[in-house]
Structure 1
Amino acid sequence: MDEFLKWYFSHNPVAAASLGAEGYDHTLGDLTASGWQTREREQVQWLDRLSAAEAPSLDDAIDRDLVLSQLRGSIALASWPEWRRDPAVYLSTIFAAMYTPFQRRLKPEAELVESALSRLAEVPGVLAACRANLDPDLAAPLLVTRGLGQARTGRNLLTRTIPAMVEDAELRARLAEAAEPAARAFDDLVAFLEGFECGGTWRMGEKLYSTLLREREMLGYGAAELHAKGQAAWSELDARMRAVAVGVNGGDDWRAAMESLMDDHPPTLADMRAEYEAETRRAREFVRERDLVTFADGEECEVLPSAEYTRPVLAVAHYLAPPPLSASRRGIFFVPYTPDDFTPEQVRQRLRTNSRAQMPSIAVHEAYPGHHWHLSYMAGNPRTVRKVFRTPYFTEGWALYVEKLLHEQGYFDTPATELAHLDCRIFRAARIVVDTALHCEDMTVEEAETFMSTKASLSPGTAQGEVSRYCAWPTQAPSYLTGAIEIDRIRESFQGTPKEFHDRIAGSGGLPLGLAEQVALA
């Protein structure tokens, strides 16, 4: 396993550095066609080697099977090469490598700047690889348009935003000067993408989609079965919400009730951040008082505006975990700010989808005992590979599971917050229906946007951003409710206290659900 991780880190240096592995923070990696093809060949060899390896203990077997699930998923995706289809593969690598270290500040500033200078020098080559690798027959206009929106933030991010995060004036000047060639490369990429004509599809298709569910996520069913589960969950939640809505506005139209609740929102983006911070502190104290989990020593969750480069493509709150291979236990809950070019009405709609009734559920999901608690606590697991690989079917499933847990504990103690909690859940059921239908060619983008804005309480603009994300990230959107349902099922068979269950299953990592069940019930 140590040999495999060394191979994985050397081929994925940005991911390695983000995890806290030492010695990988000076390069963006080889993103040329030959680099991608080399990785594809070698991961097949690793699959063969690890499949034949015996495991002397249950923990070793879990580690091996975790890696095998990741390898099987990657090998299946070789038939759907993102590096030929989507400019975001390159852009996200650059942005994460440049921005995240300054956000975390785990090393002296001079070291951070030296690493950034080394990576900046590689940016033109990475963007040249992007232009060379994008295949007009495979790349989809929708994905290219998303990438174009991200690429347009590149110059400002590299020449202004990141240098402004450097306190030392001399280091700041060096960084800004070195950023200019990289910024020009972004200008060139923007011009290229504006004129890039392509005719590929973003639709993955049922066969590959189902393969990923079975092989990578280790679920016992494929896309059709998952779609049916989403429809059933939506119908059950719809009935519950009709009953709760009566306590909000006197009628059983929960969409109308949610619309009225969304009118009570923070007046500005800055106020939204401040109110989320207060709600995050309240959630932590509630979980601590009820002794639901064990907290990691030194854990801390900051609540900050979302990064500039994510704003064109992420319309919802999200979380940056502490690097699990480091000693840090400080995570960041990013509040979904809008791009600078949004109109006042677009900003208002973003604030409405972060209303005061919705904030408790979102803070629980992102912070306590959701993502921040889970990922800061699991960083203490002694099994290195558990810190490196995790699946959203556990991590997002966990965050939605704990929303239900806190509902059972009485955290959502008004009809308004209870309805908003259920709305967060029915939103995830709608995601299952839409994601499977989109990628199995049963729904158009326009139909999906309408579904998300009528079957969940999303504004049209937010629904548009959500559906765009589903098109670009197949199989991720269903992970929330699918994982939550599976964790609930495992809990029913667990013999012990809720705290013991939570510490064991979440502390084991972010495992595919089949492996998580083995750990919990061993």
Structure 2
Amino acid sequence: MDEFLKWYFSHHPVVAGFLGAEGYDHTLGDFTASAFTLREQEQARWLERLSAAESASLDDAIDRDLVCSQLRGSIALASWPEWRRDPAAYLSPIFNSMYTPLQRRLKPESELVPAAISRLAEVPGVLAACRANLDPDLAAPLLVQRGLGQARTGRNFLTRTIPGMVEDPELRAKLAAAAEPAAEAFDQLVAFLEAFQCGGTWRMGERLYSTLLRERELLGYGAAELHEKGTVAWAELDARMREVAVRVNGTEDWRAAMESLMDDHPPTLADMRAEYEAETQRAREFVRERDLVTFADGEECHVLPSAEYTRPILSVAHYLAPPPLAGSRTGVFFVPYTPDDFTPEQVRQRLRTNSRAQMPSIAVHEAYPGHHWHLSYMAGNPRTVRKVFRTSYFTEGWALYVEKLLHEQGYFDTPATELAHLDCRIFRAARIVVDTALHCEDMSIEEAETFMATKASLSPGTAQGEVNRYCAWPTQAPSYLTGAIEIDRIRASFQGSLKEFHDKIAGSGGLPLGLAEKAAHGEGARRTE
């Protein structure tokens, strides 16, 4: 396993640096076509070797099966090569590798800035590879336009945002000077993408979608079954919300009730951030008082505006975990600021989808005992591979599971916050329905946007941003409710206290659900459909 991780880090240095592995923070890696092809070939050899390996213990078997599931997923995706289809395969590593180290500040600027300069020198080559590798027959216009929106933020991000994060004037000047050639490469990429003509599809198709669910996520069912689960869950939640809505506005029309609740929102983006910070602390104290989990020593969650480069592509709150291979336990809950070019009405709509009734659920999901608690706590797991590979079907499933947990514990103690909690959940049920339908060619983009705007309490603009994300990131959107349902199922047969269950299953990592069940129950774990 150590040998495999050394290979993996050497081929994915941005990921290695993000995780806190030492020695990988000076390079972006090789993005040439030959490098992608070589990695695909070597992944197949690693899968064959690891599949044949015997395990001395249950933990060893889980480690092996975790890596094999990831490799099977990557090998399956070789037939859907992101590096030929989507500029994000090149842009995201650049943005993340430049922003995250300066955000976390785990090293002094005297080390962070030279590493950033070294990576900046590689940006022109990475973006040249993007131009060379994008295939007009495979790349979809939707994905290219999405990448173009990101690329247009590149110059300002590299020449202003990143140097602005450096306190030392001399180092700041060096970084700004080194950023100019990279910024010029971004200008060239913007011009290229503006003129790029392509005719590929973003629809993954049922076969590959189901393969990923079964072989990477270890769920035991495919796209059709998942779609049905989402449809059933939506109907059940709709019935519950009709009952709660009567206590909010006197009718069963929960959409109208949510619309009225969304009018009570912070007046500005800055106020939204401040109110989220207060709600995050309230959630932390609630969880501690009820002794629901064990907190990691030294954990801390900052609540900050979302990074500039994410604003064109992310319209919801999100979280940056502490690097699990380093000693830090400090994470960041990013509040979803709007791009600078948004109109006042677009800003108002963003504020409405972060209303005061919704804030408790979102803070629980992103921070306590959601993502921040989970990822700061699991960073203490001694098994290195569990810190390297995790699936959103557990991590996002966990964050939605704990929303329901805190509802059971009485955290959402008004009809307004209870309805908003259920709205967050029905939104995730709608995601299952829409994502599976989009990628299995059963729904158009326009139909999906209408579904999200009418079957969940999203503004038209937010619904549009959500559907755009689903098109670009197949199988991720269903992970929230799917994982939450599976964790609930595993909990039902766990022998022990709530706290013991939470510490054990969440502390085991962010495992595919079939492996999470083994970690919770031991060798006797059996899946039941």
TM-score normalised to structure 1 length:
1.00
The residue that corresponds to 1:65 in the other structure is 65
Q: Distance in 2 between matches of 1:32 and 1:463?
A: 35
- Aligned amino acid, residue 300 of structure 1: E
Q: Distance in 2 between matches of 1:221 and 1:367?
A: 30
3-state DSSP class of the match of 1:377? helix
The alignment status of 1:501 with 2:487, answered yes or no, reads no
Q: CA RMSD in A?
A: 0.2
Cα shift at 1:94: 0.2
Describe how 1:438-449 pairs up with structure 2 within 5 A: 438-449=438-449
Describe how 1:68-467 pairs up with structure 2 within 5 A: 68-467=68-467
- 1:300-340 per-residue CA deviation (whole Å, 9 max, x = no partner) reads 00000000000000000000000000000000000000000
Q: Distance in 1 between matches of 2:89 and 2:269?
A: 29
Q: Distance in 2 between matches of 1:215 and 1:192?
A: 37
- Aligned amino acid, residue 344 of structure 1: P
Structure 1 gaps of 5+ residues are none
- Aligned amino acid, residue 292 of structure 1: L
Q: Distance in 1 between matches of 2:139 and 2:300?
A: 41
The residue that corresponds to 1:51 in the other structure is 51
Cα shift at 1:110: 1.0
Cα shift at 1:120: 0.2
3-state DSSP class of the match of 2:312? coil
State the percentage of identical aligned residues: 87
3-state DSSP class of the match of 1:334? strand
Cα shift at 1:19: 0.1
Q: Distance in 2 between matches of 1:352 and 1:199?
A: 36
The residue that corresponds to 2:510 in the other structure is 510
Q: Distance in 2 between matches of 1:89 and 1:261?
A: 39
Q: Distance in 2 between matches of 1:46 and 1:309?
A: 35
- 1:206-230 per-residue CA deviation (whole Å, 9 max, x = no partner) reads 0000000000000010000000000
Q: Distance in 2 between matches of 1:204 and 1:315?
A: 23
Q: Distance in 2 between matches of 1:70 and 1:116?
A: 29
- Aligned amino acid, residue 143 of structure 2: L
- 1:231-280 per-residue CA deviation (whole Å, 9 max, x = no partner) reads 00000000000000000000000000000000000000000000000000
- Aligned amino acid, residue 185 of structure 2: A
The alignment status of 1:40 with 2:40, answered yes or no, reads yes
3-state DSSP class of the match of 1:298? coil
Cα shift at 1:429: 0.1
- Aligned amino acid, residue 99 of structure 1: Y
- 1:408-460 per-residue CA deviation (whole Å, 9 max, x = no partner) reads 00000000000000000000000000000000000000000000000000000
The alignment status of 1:13 with 2:13, answered yes or no, reads yes
- 1:345-383 per-residue CA deviation (whole Å, 9 max, x = no partner) reads 000000000000000000000000000000000000000
Which consecutive segments of 4 or more residues in structure 1 shift more than 6 A?
none
- Aligned amino acid, residue 32 of structure 1: T
- 1:15-47 per-residue CA deviation (whole Å, 9 max, x = no partner) reads 000000000000000011011001000000000
Task: Give the number of aligned pairs.
Answer: 522
Q: Distance in 1 between matches of 2:331 and 2:80?
A: 33
Q: Distance in 2 between matches of 1:89 and 1:232?
A: 35
3-state DSSP class of the match of 2:7? helix
Q: Distance in 2 between matches of 1:462 and 1:407?
A: 25
Q: Distance in 2 between matches of 1:270 and 1:336?
A: 11
3-state DSSP class of the match of 1:209? helix
Q: Distance in 1 between matches of 2:48 and 2:141?
A: 37
Cα shift at 1:119: 0.1
Cα shift at 1:123: 0.1
Q: Distance in 1 between matches of 2:71 and 2:175?
A: 37
Q: Distance in 1 between matches of 2:490 and 2:33?
A: 43
- Aligned amino acid, residue 211 of structure 2: T
- Aligned amino acid, residue 433 of structure 1: V
- 1:74-98 per-residue CA deviation (whole Å, 9 max, x = no partner) reads 0000000000000011000100010
- 1:163-194 per-residue CA deviation (whole Å, 9 max, x = no partner) reads 00000000000000000000000000000000
Q: Distance in 2 between matches of 1:110 and 1:464?
A: 43
- Aligned amino acid, residue 437 of structure 1: A
3-state DSSP class of the match of 1:314? coil
3-state DSSP class of the match of 2:302? strand
Q: Distance in 1 between matches of 2:482 and 2:52?
A: 31
Cα shift at 1:468: 0.2
Q: Distance in 2 between matches of 1:495 and 1:512?
A: 21
Q: Distance in 2 between matches of 1:221 and 1:58?
A: 24
Q: Distance in 2 between matches of 1:70 and 1:307?
A: 29
- Aligned amino acid, residue 478 of structure 2: P
